[in-house]
Amino acid sequence: MKSISRKAFLSNTCKAACILAGGSAFLTLLEGCAPFKVYSTKTQDGILSVPLAEFATEKSRIVRDNNLDSDIFLSKTETGYIALKMKCTHQDWLLTATGSGFACSSHGSTFATDGKVTNGPATEPLKQLKTIVTNTTIQIYLNQ
Ligand code: FES
């Protein structure tokens, strides 16, 4: 067994503690910088419903039902609402929200918040889902 001096042990332990502390602070910082708030809900009869009140002060939400295969990005535009599946159109990997859109960690495709491809290899825009606005909610139709 290789011996290690007390000085080297303390030095290595301090370095590891600093890395762990820095990593934890970095994760906290990342959570605080999440570009879009998440609205969690449950699908009922193939429809996700999001209260209009969610858009009183914000223009977008990531809509999440943990039973679905991907999140949905819902945003308010000048003409209504658009709902986009957050799944890469290249090879179906899940996308990560960035400050300006979405990124795929598989092969590097990126998409704008309107679903258009901003960097390949993907060539098709994100799948858009039908939305209907009622008096109190935005309904997202998963199967149409
Ligand atoms: S699966 Fe997203 S870029 Fe290939």
Note whether 22 and 47 are same-domain residues: no
Q: Residue 13 C-alpha to ligand 1 middle, in angstroms?
A: 40
pLDDT tens digits, 62-82: 999 999 999 999 999 999 999
> Do 18 and 71 reside in the same domain of the chain?
no
Report the nearest-CA residue for atom 3 of ligand 1: 107
Ligand 1 pocket mutation, candidates 89, 104, 127, criterion most atoms within 8 A of CB = 104
pTM of the complete model: 0.76
Q: Residue 123's pLDDT is what?
A: 98
Range of the domain at 126: 38-141
> CA triplet 5, 7, 11: central angle to 5 degrees?
120
Task: Report pLDDT for 106.
Answer: 95
Q: What is the mean pLDDT of the chain?
A: 83
CATH code at position 71: 2.102.10.10
* Same domain membership, residue 111 and residue 45: yes
46 and 110 in a single domain? The answer is: yes
Choice between 43 and 18, residue whose per-residue pLDDT is larger: 43
Number of domains in the chain: 2
Structure tokens at 82: 């658009």
Predicted pLDDT of residue 109: 97
What's the gap in Å between 128 CA and the centre of ligand 1? 18
d(CA 63, CA 26): 25
**Centre of ligand 1 from the C-alpha of residue 87, in Å:** 9
47-52-55-61 Cα dihedral, nearest 10 degrees: -10
* C-alpha closest to that of 128 among 138, 111, 115: 115
Q: What is the average pLDDT across 106-128?
A: 97
Q: pLDDT above 90 covers what percent of the chain?
A: 70
By alpha-carbon position, which residue is closest to atom 1 of ligand 1?
A: 91
Contact 128, 112 (CB under 8 A): no
At residue 124, the pLDDT reads 98
Tell whether 29 and 44 lie within a shared domain.
no
Which residue's CA is the nearest one to ligand 1's atom 4? 107
Rounded alpha-carbon distances, angstroms, from residue 81 to 26, 75, 76, 91, 118: 34, 6, 4, 26, 21
CA-closest candidate to residue 50, choices 72, 33, 67: 72
Looking at the structure, do residues 117 and 136 belong to the same domain, yes or no? Answer: yes
